[in-house]
Amino acid sequence: MRSFIVGDVHGCLDELDELVATLDARAEDRFLFLGDYVDRGPDSVGVVRRVRELMARFPASAAIAGNHEDKALRDRARRRPGPAWTARASDDDWRFLESLPLLLRLPEHGALLVHGGLYPRFFDLYESIGEVPADWRVGGGKRGERLRRFLRVRTVSGQGAFVALGDEAADSRHWSSVYDGREGFCFFGHDPQLAPPEPLRAAHALGLDTGCCFGGRLSAAVLEEEQRVAPKALRALRVVSVPARAQYAEPRAALVE
Ligand SMILES: [Mn+2]
């Protein structure tokens, strides 16, 4: 079984189909999606349904939540109007979005998947991620609140604390540059890499959002069966990508979440 770990799709259905065709999956392979299926691109509902189809066709597949799914679910819970695609999502689509986990561990690869990332301050408080409560979206108290930051983190302070978008200071840096690998090698999305549209490589993490919706590329890391992802083996990590067919959103939008 090979694993294809796919970065932020954001409604780019044509590019997802092209990437899937390029990867030429066998029945025993699996797709692992890093979240942010919706918004920005031309066909959010189409992507949600394609992800669901791929999970049915390749039963070992899985998908985690991104902050865009999280926002849509919160808006819906509060009966606030959402973007246009939300009116076309079916009950099954919503149930799928609600079911997405915060993270996925891949012990066989020494890795885990999380949409935004892991910030050091969390581990000052809890040492390890431990159990994620089933109601992680809304519950879990203060710890749940801190877990939910894994959906959104890009930069951290000099002390390793989560820094909200727009609050960056001179000593802020990308979380992946200070992550020590304690929870395993981390595959993440969320932070579009556009200049150039190449994965963000750190010692213990790989960022696979290569900004497809902004006219960049849609990327997937390819893990062979039993391939352990260790810092020394990083160069052996294969990434396959396809170019965006258009620029669907302004890169500026990346800075307003
Ligand atoms: Mn995101």
* Residue ranges of the chain with per-residue pLDDT less than 70: 232-234, 253-257
Give the distance (Å) from ligand 1 centre to CA of residue 40. 11
Residue-level pLDDT at 165: 87
Number of H helices, E strands in the chain: 7, 13
Give the distance (Å) from ligand 1 centre to CA of residue 182. 23
> CA-CA distance, 238 to 150, in Å (whole number)?
25
Instruction: Please report, for the chain, the start and end positions of each structural domain, with discontinuous segments joined by +.
Output: 1-14+23-100+205-257, 118-185
> CA-CA distance, 48 to 69, in Å (whole number)?
10
Q: Does domain 1-14+23-100+205-257 have CATH number 3.60.21.10?
A: yes
Residue-level pLDDT at 226: 84
Residue-level pLDDT at 201: 92
Residue-level pLDDT at 257: 54
Residue-level pLDDT at 251: 86
Digit-coded pLDDT (tens) for 213-238: 999 999 999 999 888 887 766 677 89
Give the distance (Å) from ligand 1 centre to CA of residue 38. 10
**Residue 43 three-state SS:** coil
> CA-CA distance, 173 to 87, in Å (whole number)?
38
| The model scores a pTM over 0.85 | yes
